[in-house]
Amino acid sequence: MSLVVTHDLHKTFVHHGRPLHVLRGVSIEIGQGELVAIVGSSGAGKSTLMHCIGTLDLPSKGTIKLGPHQLAGLPGAQLAKIRNETIGFVFQFHHLLPEFDALENVMMPGLIQGRSRKEMSVLAKKLLDEVGLSKRETHRPSELSGGEQQRVALARALVLNPKLILADEPTGNLDSATSAAIQRLFFEVNERHGTTIVVVTHDNGFARLMPRVITLKDGEVLSDVRSEKGTLPKPGELEAAAPSSGPEDDAPAGEAPAAAAAEPTTDA
Protein backbone atom coordinates (compact mmCIF):
# COMPACT_ATOMS: atom_id res chain seq x y z
CA MET A 1 0.00 0.00 0.00
CA SER A 2 1.36 3.40 -0.96
CA LEU A 3 1.98 5.94 1.79
CA VAL A 4 3.59 8.73 -0.26
CA VAL A 5 2.84 9.48 -3.90
CA THR A 6 4.16 12.54 -5.71
CA HIS A 7 3.18 13.30 -9.28
CA ASP A 8 4.93 15.82 -11.55
CA LEU A 9 6.22 17.76 -8.55
CA HIS A 10 7.83 21.12 -9.27
CA LYS A 11 9.32 23.69 -6.92
CA THR A 12 10.60 27.05 -8.07
CA PHE A 13 12.28 29.64 -5.84
CA VAL A 14 12.83 33.26 -6.81
CA HIS A 15 16.50 33.99 -6.17
CA HIS A 16 17.77 37.53 -6.75
CA GLY A 17 14.80 38.17 -8.99
CA ARG A 18 15.32 35.08 -11.12
CA PRO A 19 13.44 31.77 -10.99
CA LEU A 20 15.45 28.82 -9.70
CA HIS A 21 13.87 25.48 -10.60
CA VAL A 22 14.81 23.10 -7.77
CA LEU A 23 12.31 20.31 -8.52
CA ARG A 24 11.43 19.51 -12.13
CA GLY A 25 8.61 16.99 -12.34
CA VAL A 26 9.44 14.49 -9.59
CA SER A 27 7.11 11.49 -9.52
CA ILE A 28 7.77 8.82 -6.88
CA GLU A 29 5.77 6.29 -4.90
CA ILE A 30 6.80 5.05 -1.45
CA GLY A 31 5.02 2.14 0.17
CA GLN A 32 4.10 1.63 3.79
CA GLY A 33 7.05 0.14 5.69
CA GLU A 34 9.72 1.01 3.12
CA LEU A 35 13.20 2.20 4.05
CA VAL A 36 14.41 4.68 1.42
CA ALA A 37 17.50 6.84 0.90
CA ILE A 38 17.37 9.96 -1.26
CA VAL A 39 20.79 10.94 -2.58
CA GLY A 40 22.30 13.35 -5.04
CA SER A 41 24.79 16.19 -5.28
CA SER A 42 24.29 19.56 -3.66
CA GLY A 43 21.43 21.42 -5.34
CA ALA A 44 19.80 18.26 -6.66
CA GLY A 45 16.58 18.99 -4.74
CA LYS A 46 16.78 16.34 -2.00
CA SER A 47 15.90 18.48 1.00
CA THR A 48 13.34 20.47 -0.97
CA LEU A 49 11.57 17.26 -1.93
CA MET A 50 11.57 16.14 1.70
CA HIS A 51 10.18 19.47 2.87
CA CYS A 52 7.34 19.24 0.34
CA ILE A 53 6.49 15.65 1.32
CA GLY A 54 6.56 16.72 4.97
CA THR A 55 4.23 19.69 4.31
CA LEU A 56 6.91 22.10 5.56
CA ASP A 57 6.86 23.72 2.12
CA LEU A 58 4.40 23.79 -0.75
CA PRO A 59 5.20 22.68 -4.30
CA SER A 60 4.83 25.17 -7.13
CA LYS A 61 3.10 22.54 -9.26
CA GLY A 62 2.09 18.90 -9.02
CA THR A 63 0.39 16.77 -6.39
CA ILE A 64 1.34 14.93 -3.21
CA LYS A 65 -0.73 12.19 -1.65
CA LEU A 66 0.10 11.26 1.95
CA GLY A 67 -1.88 8.21 3.01
CA PRO A 68 -5.51 9.02 2.17
CA HIS A 69 -4.88 12.77 1.96
CA GLN A 70 -4.40 14.76 -1.23
CA LEU A 71 -2.34 17.69 0.07
CA ALA A 72 -2.74 20.15 -2.81
CA GLY A 73 -4.85 23.14 -1.86
CA LEU A 74 -5.35 22.21 1.80
CA PRO A 75 -5.23 25.11 4.29
CA GLY A 76 -2.28 25.44 6.65
CA ALA A 77 -4.18 24.31 9.73
CA GLN A 78 -5.26 21.09 8.05
CA LEU A 79 -1.74 20.44 6.75
CA ALA A 80 -0.41 20.91 10.28
CA LYS A 81 -2.94 18.41 11.62
CA ILE A 82 -1.97 15.82 8.98
CA ARG A 83 1.73 16.48 9.67
CA ASN A 84 1.29 16.04 13.42
CA GLU A 85 -0.68 12.82 13.07
CA THR A 86 1.38 11.21 10.32
CA ILE A 87 5.01 12.39 10.28
CA GLY A 88 7.99 12.42 12.62
CA PHE A 89 11.02 14.55 11.73
CA VAL A 90 14.72 14.10 12.45
CA PHE A 91 17.06 16.83 11.22
CA GLN A 92 20.81 17.32 11.07
CA PHE A 93 20.42 19.70 14.01
CA HIS A 94 18.37 18.00 16.69
CA HIS A 95 16.33 21.08 17.74
CA LEU A 96 15.87 19.84 21.30
CA LEU A 97 14.50 22.37 23.77
CA PRO A 98 17.45 23.29 26.02
CA GLU A 99 15.42 24.05 29.13
CA PHE A 100 13.87 20.57 29.25
CA ASP A 101 15.48 17.22 30.01
CA ALA A 102 15.57 14.25 27.62
CA LEU A 103 12.33 12.74 28.92
CA GLU A 104 10.45 16.02 28.64
CA ASN A 105 11.78 16.64 25.12
CA VAL A 106 10.48 13.25 23.99
CA MET A 107 7.14 13.89 25.70
CA MET A 108 6.73 17.35 24.17
CA PRO A 109 4.81 16.50 20.94
CA GLY A 110 2.13 14.70 22.96
CA LEU A 111 1.96 17.43 25.61
CA ILE A 112 1.41 20.03 22.88
CA GLN A 113 -1.48 17.90 21.64
CA GLY A 114 -3.00 18.03 25.12
CA ARG A 115 -2.22 14.48 26.20
CA SER A 116 -1.53 13.85 29.87
CA ARG A 117 1.97 13.90 31.33
CA LYS A 118 1.36 10.45 32.78
CA GLU A 119 0.53 8.95 29.38
CA MET A 120 3.40 10.67 27.61
CA SER A 121 5.90 9.81 30.34
CA VAL A 122 5.21 6.11 29.88
CA LEU A 123 5.64 6.34 26.11
CA ALA A 124 8.76 8.51 26.35
CA LYS A 125 10.46 6.25 28.90
CA LYS A 126 9.86 3.23 26.67
CA LEU A 127 11.36 4.96 23.64
CA LEU A 128 14.37 6.31 25.51
CA ASP A 129 15.05 2.78 26.67
CA GLU A 130 14.68 1.57 23.08
CA VAL A 131 17.34 4.03 21.86
CA GLY A 132 19.67 3.19 24.75
CA LEU A 133 19.15 6.28 26.91
CA SER A 134 17.13 4.99 29.85
CA LYS A 135 19.81 6.25 32.25
CA ARG A 136 19.89 9.73 30.71
CA GLU A 137 16.23 10.71 31.11
CA THR A 138 16.89 13.63 33.47
CA HIS A 139 19.81 15.10 31.51
CA ARG A 140 19.31 18.27 29.52
CA PRO A 141 20.61 18.54 25.93
CA SER A 142 23.74 20.42 27.03
CA GLU A 143 24.63 17.41 29.18
CA LEU A 144 24.33 14.94 26.29
CA SER A 145 26.74 14.10 23.48
CA GLY A 146 25.82 14.81 19.87
CA GLY A 147 24.91 11.18 19.30
CA GLU A 148 22.78 11.10 22.44
CA GLN A 149 20.98 14.24 21.36
CA GLN A 150 20.11 12.62 18.03
CA ARG A 151 18.85 9.53 19.86
CA VAL A 152 16.54 11.79 21.86
CA ALA A 153 15.41 13.47 18.63
CA LEU A 154 14.63 10.08 17.09
CA ALA A 155 12.67 9.03 20.18
CA ARG A 156 10.75 12.32 20.02
CA ALA A 157 9.94 11.70 16.35
CA LEU A 158 8.54 8.26 17.24
CA VAL A 159 6.55 9.18 20.34
CA LEU A 160 3.22 9.72 18.55
CA ASN A 161 3.67 6.54 16.49
CA PRO A 162 3.88 8.24 13.07
CA LYS A 163 3.49 6.30 9.87
CA LEU A 164 6.39 8.19 8.29
CA ILE A 165 9.80 9.37 9.54
CA LEU A 166 11.57 11.98 7.43
CA ALA A 167 15.25 12.41 8.26
CA ASP A 168 17.40 15.11 6.64
CA GLU A 169 21.15 14.45 7.08
CA PRO A 170 20.53 13.06 10.59
CA THR A 171 24.19 12.10 11.10
CA GLY A 172 25.80 15.02 9.28
CA ASN A 173 27.37 16.49 12.43
CA LEU A 174 28.53 13.22 14.00
CA ASP A 175 31.78 11.27 13.86
CA SER A 176 31.84 8.04 11.85
CA ALA A 177 31.38 5.64 14.79
CA THR A 178 28.48 7.63 16.27
CA SER A 179 26.95 8.01 12.80
CA ALA A 180 27.01 4.23 12.33
CA ALA A 181 25.22 3.73 15.66
CA ILE A 182 22.50 6.25 14.76
CA GLN A 183 22.12 4.78 11.28
CA ARG A 184 21.67 1.32 12.77
CA LEU A 185 18.85 2.71 14.91
CA PHE A 186 16.94 3.70 11.77
CA PHE A 187 17.14 0.13 10.48
CA GLU A 188 16.07 -1.23 13.87
CA VAL A 189 13.13 1.18 14.14
CA ASN A 190 11.96 0.23 10.66
CA GLU A 191 12.23 -3.47 11.46
CA ARG A 192 10.65 -3.23 14.92
CA HIS A 193 7.82 -0.79 14.22
CA GLY A 194 7.29 -1.09 10.46
CA THR A 195 7.65 2.69 10.21
CA THR A 196 8.28 4.07 6.74
CA ILE A 197 11.60 5.94 6.85
CA VAL A 198 12.93 8.31 4.19
CA VAL A 199 16.49 9.55 4.75
CA VAL A 200 18.16 12.35 2.80
CA THR A 201 21.88 11.68 3.02
CA HIS A 202 25.26 12.48 1.48
CA ASP A 203 26.70 9.34 3.05
CA ASN A 204 27.03 6.96 0.12
CA GLY A 205 28.14 4.09 2.36
CA PHE A 206 24.94 4.39 4.39
CA ALA A 207 22.83 4.71 1.25
CA ARG A 208 24.33 1.57 -0.31
CA LEU A 209 22.98 -0.50 2.58
CA MET A 210 19.42 0.79 2.12
CA PRO A 211 16.84 -1.43 0.40
CA ARG A 212 15.93 1.42 -1.95
CA VAL A 213 17.92 4.41 -3.20
CA ILE A 214 16.38 7.29 -5.15
CA THR A 215 18.98 9.49 -6.85
CA LEU A 216 18.10 13.05 -7.84
CA LYS A 217 19.99 15.17 -10.35
CA ASP A 218 19.08 18.74 -11.28
CA GLY A 219 15.64 18.36 -9.69
CA GLU A 220 14.73 15.16 -11.52
CA VAL A 221 14.79 11.47 -10.62
CA LEU A 222 17.95 10.07 -12.17
CA SER A 223 17.47 6.54 -10.84
CA ASP A 224 15.30 4.56 -8.43
CA VAL A 225 16.97 1.30 -7.42
CA ARG A 226 15.68 -1.45 -5.15
CA SER A 227 18.01 -4.14 -3.85
CA GLU A 228 17.45 -7.61 -2.43
CA LYS A 229 19.46 -6.98 0.76
CA GLY A 230 17.82 -7.30 4.16
CA THR A 231 16.86 -4.13 5.97
CA LEU A 232 19.11 -4.62 9.03
CA PRO A 233 22.85 -4.46 8.21
CA LYS A 234 25.12 -7.08 9.64
CA PRO A 235 27.40 -6.01 12.53
CA GLY A 236 30.24 -3.88 11.20
CA GLU A 237 28.68 -3.09 7.81
CA LEU A 238 27.76 0.47 8.72
CA GLU A 239 31.05 1.03 10.50
CA ALA A 240 32.95 -0.15 7.43
CA ALA A 241 30.95 1.98 5.02
CA ALA A 242 32.61 4.92 3.34
CA PRO A 243 32.53 8.13 5.40
CA SER A 244 30.17 10.92 4.50
CA SER A 245 31.39 13.66 2.20
CA GLY A 246 29.70 16.19 4.51
CA PRO A 247 26.34 17.95 4.46
CA GLU A 248 25.39 20.65 2.03
CA ASP A 249 22.18 22.57 1.50
CA ASP A 250 19.88 22.14 -1.49
CA ALA A 251 17.93 25.36 -1.65
CA PRO A 252 19.35 28.86 -2.17
CA ALA A 253 20.17 30.91 0.89
CA GLY A 254 17.13 32.69 2.24
CA GLU A 255 14.68 30.64 0.14
CA ALA A 256 14.56 27.24 1.86
CA PRO A 257 11.82 26.70 4.47
CA ALA A 258 14.34 26.66 7.32
CA ALA A 259 12.09 28.54 9.71
CA ALA A 260 9.32 26.01 9.24
CA ALA A 261 11.71 23.12 9.73
CA ALA A 262 13.57 24.59 12.67
CA GLU A 263 11.12 23.66 15.39
CA PRO A 264 9.05 20.65 14.26
CA THR A 265 7.69 20.10 17.77
CA THR A 266 5.69 23.33 17.70
CA ASP A 267 3.12 21.63 15.47
CA ALA A 268 3.46 18.18 16.99
Burial class (CB in 10 A: 0-12, 13-18, 19+), 82: middle
As a whole number, mean pLDDT of residues 142-152 equals 90
Q: At what angle do helices 146-158 and 176-193 cross, to 10 degrees?
A: 20
| 41 has a pLDDT exceeding 70 | yes
* Secondary structure (3-state) at 41: coil
* pTM exceeding the 0.95 threshold for the entire prediction: no
- Enclosing H/E stretch for 32: none
Give the mean pLDDT of the chain. Answer: 83
Confidence band for 180, pLDDT divided at 50, 70 and 90: confident
Give tens-digit pLDDT for 6-15. 999 999 998 8
What is the share, in percent, of the chain residues with pLDDT greater than 90? 50
* pLDDT surpassing 70 at residue 144: yes
Architecture field, domain 2-266: 3-Layer(aba) Sandwich (3.40)
The answer to whether 250 touches 44, Cβ cutoff 8 Å, is: yes
- pLDDT: which is higher, 118 or 262: 118
Spatial CA neighbour of 201 closest among 182, 218, 220: 182
Please report the sign of the dihedral spanned by the C-alpha atoms of residue 154, residue 191, residue 247, residue 15.
negative
Region 208-233: mean pLDDT is 84
Given a cut of 50, whether residue 262 has pLDDT beyond it is no
Please tell me the predicted confidence (pLDDT) of residue 68: 92
Q: How far apart are CA 259 and CA 262, in angstroms?
A: 5
Cα-to-chain-centroid distance, residue 108: 18
Q: Are strands 212-217 and 220-226 parallel, antiparallel or unpaired?
A: antiparallel
pLDDT score at 266: 37
The model's confidence at residue 73, banded by pLDDT at 50, 70 and 90, is confident
User: What is the mean predicted confidence (pLDDT) over 213-229?
Assistant: 90
Where does the pLDDT of residue 203 fall: very low under 50, low under 70, confident under 90, or very high at 90 and above? confident
Angle between helices 146-158 and 102-112 (to 10 degrees): 30
Residue spans of the domains in the chain: they are 2-266
pLDDT given at position 60: 92
